[in-house]
Amino acid sequence: METNVIWGMGVYILSAWTPKVCYKRVLIYLIIASFIFMGFSEADGIVNGDTIPIIISSNDVIFNDVKITGDIILTNMTIRNKLVIENSEINGSIVFDGSQFMKQVSFSDTTILGQSSFISSTFNHVAKFKQTNFIGRANYKKAAFMQGEFDRAVFYEDAIFKYCTFINEPTFTYASFNKDALFTSSAFNGGDFNHGSFYKNVFFNDATFQDKAYFNYAIMSNIADFSNAKFSNMMSLNDSRFMGYADFYNTTFAGDAYFSDLKASNEVDFSKSNFSKMADFHDARFSGYANFKNASFRNLFLSGALFNQFYLPWKNVKGKLDCDEYLYLRMISTYKDLGLFDDADDCYYYFKHNYLQSYQFSNFIEPILGELYGWGVKPINTIKWSLIFILVFGLFFWFPYILTDTNLVKGRPDLSITKPSECSPNSTVQSIGKDSTDLHAASFSCVVSSIFLSLILSLIFSARIFASALTSTIEGPSLKDSGSNIAKLEKLLAHIMAFLFLIAISKTILREII
């Protein structure tokens, strides 16, 4: 390898040796050639790290299957040539802080025994670190990547990607992080972390993802911090594992969020998170405490999900929840344990009203009775339907010839109903005086008044009948046979409503008093 380099440099020097060429330029080439020669040892495949900055200043650096001794240091420089060191071993550190790479950079399949530092570096072309072994700390803080590829890379110490910018989707598939992985406040166009292994803490707090973000089959063994992160597109954590505390506090999911088959062994905090589209947790397993306090949802899928302990405010998921019978009952039980009886009652009512009625052969009577008393958790339903029954039966009593005694109270003829037929012009003249000239208007007013009064009194009659079924102190009015049959039906309904009301009261208001 070194022979080819030296011969090539010699030929170039001879071709450049003309009277027109300055001797200083030739001297420079000789110096470079001497460095290159010294960069190779007698054993083929060993390169001195000090020579690489000299070579790359004028030529591409392309090494394969070599051993580099010493550090490679090139800071705050614009590197216009390729830097490719693959299938190799670097027995030192690499430091490129503040440098700009205009062409390809690759350390794929290379083991770096020292530290790797690319602080504030800019990669304007593809940067390949596939299957790279970072034995020392890898620091890419504030680096900018046009295309970053870290598939199957292994980080034995901290991997620092804080405040980084990824123009295109970076890939970290099957990457292993043995110490902390820090992506705090980084800007991703997208991200592929499928099958990633995070054996210590991982931080994506305050990070932003403009495109799709994948974390499927990832293993996060310790703290996983996604707090205040923003996912503008789809985010997927399907089949992933959270072994430690997972923090999604105040995280924004603007696209669909997938957590299906997720396994969480410790606490997971989704408090104040915002799910603008679908949130899919079907078949997820939460062995620890799952906190959804003040989280907002558009569509929440929890079918098949299992929770050990969780808090999911009913007001935040009412009408947006798709889950099975087991989870409804777990939610009801949880609300009761927390003393949130209103949430428990609302959840139970929603479950009975929407879930049980979805059965094809649901009992015909049960839905009707359930609506009348809110399945025992809504006494207000009983009061509402009682008023409706009084109104309906009052309209029946309003029809002509049903009432035989139009006196509301016996012995009080002044409370009797004036029939519209009694509002004749002659009787109207007598009532308003012989000098009246507006007989037709007076007659019309009499008819309207009598109709309105008869309606009011009919409703009062209906209320008296309804109340007489509940107590013996109120006597019902005298009715014809047809009216008596209607009254019997109303009394029967009154007994039923009273019974349902007592059930609802005992399960709600009395429960809280006791």
Integer Cα distance of 228 and 183 in angstroms: 13
Q: pLDDT, tens digit, for every residue of 474-509?
A: 555 555 555 567 777 877 888 777 777 777 676 666
With a cut of 60, say whether residue 227 has pLDDT above it.
yes
Q: What is the pLDDT of residue 3?
A: 39
Integer Cα distance of 74 and 405 in angstroms: 110
pLDDT above 70 coverage of the chain, percent: 71
Q: pLDDT, tens digit, for every residue of 110-133?
A: 999 999 999 999 999 999 999 999
Phi and psi dihedrals of 462, rounded to 5? -60, -40
pTM reported for the whole predicted model: 0.72
Tokens of 449: 């008044």
Confidence of residue 66 (pLDDT cuts 50, 70, 90): very high
In the chain, where are the structural domains located?
Answer: 379-513
Nearest CA to 302 out of 324, 333, 287 is that of 324
Confidence of residue 353 (pLDDT cuts 50, 70, 90): confident
Integer Cα distance of 330 and 334 in angstroms: 6
Nearest CA to 84 out of 99, 66, 98 is that of 66
Place of tokens 């990070």: 207
Tokens of 431: 């009532």
Among 77-91, 262-276, 303-317, which is the least confidently predicted range?
303-317
Residue type, 342: D
